[in-house]
Amino acid sequence: MASEGIMPGPMCLIENVKGQLIANQEALEILSEIMQPVVVVSIVGLYRTGKSYLMNKLAGKRTGFSLGSTVQSHTKGIWMWCVPHPKKADHTLVLLDTEGLGDVEKGDNQNDCWIFALAILLSSTFVYNSMGAINQQVMDQLHYVTEMTDRIRLRSSPDQDKVNDSDDFASFFPDFVWTLRDFSLELKVNGKPISADEYLENSLMLTHGTGQTDEQKKLSLPQLYIHKFFPRKKCFIFERPVYSKNIGELESLQDEDLDSDFLKQVTEFCSYVFSVSKVKTLSGGIKVNGPRLNNLVVTYVNTISSGSLPCIENAVLALSQTENAAAVQKAIAHYDQQMSQKLKLPTETLLELMDVHRASEKEAIKIFRETSFKDINQEFITQLATELETKQREFLKKNEQASSDRCSALLQDIFSPLEEDVKQGIYYKPGGYHLFIQKTQELKKKYYEEPGKGLQAEEVLQKFLRSKDDLTDAILQTDQTLTEKEKESEVEHLKAEAMMATAKIQQEMQHKVEQLLQQKVKSNEDHMKELSVKMEELKQSRDQLEEKRPRTWN
């Protein structure tokens, strides 16, 4: 699991193919997954001096980095092994085993110089491994140190890179650990015992002094540069591990087969490296993790391959460009996440959206400041501000669109029964327009009462109503046309009713006249009958009187 800094075994980080240095993409991918701070320990030295054995012990393994057992150099380029740091929780120990220096098969030492320079540039602890005591021959072999000022540039301005800038070089050089293998001398000076560190300091000052010839000064340069460039120096001596075996066969031996003093010295070496080695740090106190180490490897190797000199300032600037661009994207992603989680679209008010925006924007800027570094001229914070402003506009549009969609769906749902009634012709009648308007007002009220419509509620409603203008006008026109016809029909109806009423009145009057005439005739008839009776009675009375009257005879 590379994300935890665990690798089953070493892998080539920088390949050396016919003198051409190439970063291995697979190894870079492993580095890119290590988010923990990295403690980078590199080891450099002549080939066949047992460098890989020490690196395997730092990895806590008996085998891993190839030791080899012949006069031919085994390790080519720079190999990497990432393991959990045994003393620092949540840190990864990155071990870099380099190709042996001085391999006659390479033909020249230019390749060695770049391997040496890369080991210094990438590590926080630099281990130089050599055989025997420190003498002039060994110092001569360390001429790579004297070439660092010609191989590495501190700044992008060439005129600022001078040998006297030792303090500047020391600010980025790793801690220096010199391991002396198969050391057989007695650590004494003037008969007094000294420590391995004192032995190193004395060796570095051995030929340093006034009154030297030019040749002597030249020979003294490795000591001078080591003394000035490396801020912390440490020396370990190792006795011969076993006398009957070649040093290349160490990986095949068990601890009980090795010299006890040698094992103790190895343990002390590993304990020091674990306890003292610092996290790889860039100028400004920027701690390096896997992705940052990845970027440094790519930047330095590409620069060397192009024929240019690795520049510390440019490498940090390139790293800051990559990191700051990533920081911007991380901040934007956080902003998007917060807006999506905290914002329910559509919002009822603009203030609601702006409050969430301001809170998310504040968190995004905080994340950028925590993950970015060396933002020259505030370039990336300005870019972030621009992108956040663009994001804000996008959310405003999304909010409006969400409101429009919600309102349109709501209107469709509320007004669909009305539209169905229109299709059925319910409102195409006299007075239909009034009923249609009345129903529309009722539905509008229902629409207003629905929650969650957002900022576009009124605009969408008015647009919807305007889309129904033709329908409304048609209902109104139909209503007016039908009403006029109804009025004309009513007039005719009233006239007919009036004529019928008049005729009825006339009939009734005629009937009454006829009844009067009939009554009059009947009355006359009754009267005549009564007269006849009376006359008859009167006649009878006269007749009776006549009969009673005495007759006189003439």
Q: Which residue in this structure is represented by tokens 């012949």? A: 70
Instruction: Supply 399's token pair.
Output: 């909010």
Q: How far apart are CA 38 and CA 503, in angstroms?
A: 120
What are the residues whose beta carbons fall under 8 Å from the beta carbon of 108, sequence distance 6 or more? none
Report the pLDDT value the prediction gives residue 336, as an integer from 0 to 100.
96
Torsion sign over Cα 537, 539, 544, 550: positive
Q: How far is CA 223 from the centre of its chain?
A: 51
In the prediction, which pLDDT does 355 show? Answer: 93
Query: Bigger pLDDT: 388 or 221?
Result: 388
Separation CA 95–CA 186 (nearest Å): 31
Mean pLDDT for 43-58 is 86
Q: What is the mean pLDDT of residues 280-307?
A: 90
Q: What is the pLDDT of residues 227-266, one digit of tens each?
A: 888 889 999 999 888 765 555 566 566 666 778 888 999 9
What is the band of 475 on the pLDDT scale with cuts at 50, 70, 90? Answer: confident
Phi, psi of 389 (to 5 degrees): -65, -40
What contacts 31, CB < 8 A, 6 or more positions away?
Answer: 80, 82, 94, 290, 291, 293, 294, 297
pLDDT at residue 493, rounded to an integer: 53
Give the span between the Cα atoms of 186 and 195, in whole angstroms: 10
pLDDT for the residue 473: 86
- Please report which confidence band the pLDDT of residue 520 belongs to, taking 50, 70 and 90 as the band edges: low
Query: Higher model confidence: residue 12 or residue 513?
Result: 12
Tell the residue number behind the tokens 């969400």, with chain if given: 402
**N-to-C CA span, the chain:** 186
Mean pLDDT of 492-504: 60
Predicted pLDDT at 214: 56
pLDDT band at 71 (very low <50, low <70, confident <90, very high): very low
For residue 546, pLDDT over 90 is answered with no
CA 119 to chain centre: 35
- The helix, strand and coil proportions of the chain, stated in percent and rounded to the nearest 5, come to 60, 10, 25
Dist. CA 175–CA 98, nearest whole Å: 17
Least confident span in 175-189, 275-289, 512-526: 512-526
Least confident of 210-214, 285-289, 328-332: 210-214
Please state which of the ranges 95-109, 179-193, 408-422 shows the lowest mean pLDDT: 95-109
Q: What is the pLDDT of residue 389?
A: 94
Is the pLDDT at 165 greater than 70, yes or no? Answer: no
For 49: left if phi > 0, alpha if psi spans -120 to 50, otherwise beta; the answer is alpha
pLDDT tier for residue 166 given thresholds of 50, 70 and 90? low
% of the chain with per-residue pLDDT over 90: 40
- Average pLDDT of the residues of the chain: 82
User: Residues with Cβ < 8 Å from 179, sequence gap 6 or more?
Assistant: 43, 45, 54, 127, 128, 129, 130, 235, 236, 238, 269
Mean pLDDT (whole number) for 481-496: 63
pLDDT band with cut points at 50, 70 and 90 for residue 2: very low
Q: Are 10 and 80 in contact (CB under 8 A)?
A: yes
- Please report which confidence band the pLDDT of residue 24 belongs to, taking 50, 70 and 90 as the band edges: very high
Q: Residue 375's pLDDT band (boundaries 50, 70, 90)?
A: confident
DSSP string, 144-161: HHHTHHHH-BSSSSGGG-
Q: What is the CATH number of domain 2-278?
A: 3.40.50.300
According to the per-residue pLDDT averaged within each range, which of 261-270, 313-322, 414-423 is highest?
A: 261-270
Domain boundaries, the chain: 2-278
Q: 281 versus 165: which is more confidently predicted?
A: 281
Distance CA 437, CA 464 (A): 15
Distance CA 24, CA 11 (A): 9
More confident residue, 175 or 436: 175
pLDDT of residue 1: 41
Please report, as a single letter, which amino acid is at residue 478.
T
Q: How many CB atoms lie within 10 A of CB 372?
A: 20
Residue scoring higher pLDDT (38 or 309): 38
Per residue in 97-153, pLDDT (tens digit) is 998 886 655 545 678 889 999 999 999 999 999 998 988 888 888 888 878 878 888
Whether residue 486 is predicted with pLDDT greater than 80 in this model: the reply is no
- The pLDDT-based confidence of 23 (bands split at 50, 70, 90) is very high
Percentage of residues of the chain with pLDDT beyond 70: 79
* pLDDT of 187 strictly over 50: yes
Which amino acid, residue 282?
Answer: L
Give the residue-averaged pLDDT of 159-169. 54
Q: CA-CA distance, 96 to 51, in Å (whole number)?
A: 10
Cα–Cα dist 298/301, whole Å: 5
